[in-house]
């Protein structure tokens, strides 16, 4: 009983750490995007994370060099690299046209899409509770965007284009999630992340504009550095949480990330931080956000057979 209590507390703490870091991430990326392009930001995040995770695996003698000889790994590694690369890039591009809170709310459909993909690829089934969560999530999205429907119907406003990019980002992440699930047969989570980070770094290398890094101001560079650290810490905490706590419970706690985005933005505005984008959310929009988060949690907790997955961005 004492061991279960310790695991519950540790798992919850790690999952909460993940939610906090994921919640703050779009706020930091919005700052970095004010001076750097999405391609360069994403390359730096991948390159920095690959270096940190690779060093950690090297010290432990767990670099997956021998496993790469298995041709079956490449069948899933390549789409995994492309999927996560697309997820990160499209997430940053979508954030340029929207706000941090909008970005986090829309990205709640990413784990839902993975469940849908699982229905077709792995022949998994939605439970009644998951269908209820799906309905709550969709209804929450409609309520959240209630005052922005004219903007959504007007492509020139930019919001609809940003949301389209975020939806594509979610699809890319779900593609990665399917690949990651298959790769877990041959590699552990850290090894998969290292290979995917390295592959994404190579893919994005021609698109990065390194000269812009020398002209960026301190706030943008610090935000970029936080993006790199965030990638390592959030994913590391998430992976550790999965080892000591049920996957469905970890996912449900991590789904609270948008709450920390809204709170972080509000605190930043109150502290008069000029680089924080204020969120103009009405009471009805906040209610919609609550339903989106609740629906995502219900989908995670209602899974008849929990599977390990790694979140978007």
What tens digit of pLDDT does each residue of 199-245 get? Answer: 999 999 999 999 999 999 888 999 999 999 998 998 788 877 877 77
Residue range(s) defining the domain that contains residue 9: 2-301
| 121 found inside a domain | yes
Q: What pLDDT shows up at residue 308?
A: 45
User: Which has the closest alpha carbon to 41: 269, 232, 178, 208?
Assistant: 208
Above 80 in pLDDT, residue 146? no
pLDDT (average), residues 299-312: 56
| 56 found inside a domain | yes
Q: What sign does the CA torsion over 247, 250, 254, 259 have?
A: positive
The tally of domains found in the chain comes to 1
| 62 found inside a domain | yes
CB-count exposure of residue 72 (10 Å: 0-12, 13-18, 19+): exposed
Q: How far apart are CA 186 and CA 190, in angstroms?
A: 12
Angle, CA of 60, 239 and 33, to the nearest 5°: 100
Q: What pLDDT shows up at residue 311?
A: 52
Q: What pLDDT shows up at residue 239?
A: 76
Q: What pLDDT shows up at residue 240?
A: 79
pLDDT bracket for residue 152 (50, 70, 90): low
| 309 found inside a domain | no
Mean pLDDT of the chain: 82
Cβ neighbours of residue 63 closer than 8 Å, sequence gap 6 or more: 54, 57, 191, 194
User: Which has the closest alpha carbon to 242: 181, 178, 310, 191?
Assistant: 310
Which of 96-110, 194-208, 250-264, 293-307 holds the top average pLDDT? 194-208
Phi, psi torsion values for 238, nearest 5 degrees = -65, -45
| 306 found inside a domain | no
Q: What pLDDT shows up at residue 307?
A: 44
What tens digit of pLDDT does each residue of 263-283 get? Answer: 877 776 565 455 566 666 677
Question: Which has more confidence, 90 or 126?
Answer: 90
Question: Which has more confidence, 87 or 99?
Answer: 87
Which of 2-16, 53-67, 137-151, 295-309 holds the top average pLDDT? 53-67
SS (H, E, C) 74-134: HHHHHHHHHHHHHHHHHHHHHHHHCCHHHHHHHCCHHHHHHHHHHHHHCCCCCCHHHHHHH
| 311 found inside a domain | no
């Amino acid at each position: 009983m004492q061991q279960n209590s310790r695991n519950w507390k540790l798992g919850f703490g790690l999952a909460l750490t993940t939610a906090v870091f994921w919640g703050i991430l779009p706020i930091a990326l919005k700052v970095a995007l004010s001076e750097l392009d999405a391609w360069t930001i994403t390359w730096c995040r991948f390159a920095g994370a690959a270096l940190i995770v690779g060093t950690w695996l090297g010290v432990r003698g767990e670099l997956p060099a021998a496993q790469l000889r298995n041709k079956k790994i490449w069948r899933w590694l390549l789409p995994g690299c492309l999927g996560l690369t697309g997820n990160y890039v499209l997430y940053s591009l979508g954030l340029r046209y929207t706000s941090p809170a909008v970005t986090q709310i829309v990205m709640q459909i990413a784990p839902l899409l993975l469940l849908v993909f699982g229905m077709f690829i792995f022949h998994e089934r939605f439970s009644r509770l998951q269908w209820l969560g799906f309905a709550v999530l969709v209804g929450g999205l409609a309520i959240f965007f209630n005052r922005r429907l004219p903007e959504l119907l007007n492509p020139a406003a930019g919001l609809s284009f940003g949301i389209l990019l975020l939806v594509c980002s979610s699809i890319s992440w779900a593609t990665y999630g399917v690949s990651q699930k298959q790769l877990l047969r041959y590699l552990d989570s850290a090894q998969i992340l290292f290979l995917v980070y390295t592959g994404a770094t190579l893919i994005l290398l021609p698109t990065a504009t390194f000269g812009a890094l020398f002209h960026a101001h301190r706030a943008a560079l610090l935000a970029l550095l936080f993006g790199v650290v965030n990638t390592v810490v959030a994913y590391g905490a998430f992976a550790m949480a999965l080892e000591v706590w049920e996957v469905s419970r970890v996912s449900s706690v991590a789904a609270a990330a948008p709450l920390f985005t809204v709170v972080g933005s509000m605190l930043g505005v109150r502290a008069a931080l000029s680089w924080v984008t204020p969120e103009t959310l009405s009471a009805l929009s906040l209610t919609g956000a609550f339903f989106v988060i609740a629906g995502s949690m219900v989908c995670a907790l209602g899974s008849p057979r929990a599977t390990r997955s790694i979140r978007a961005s």
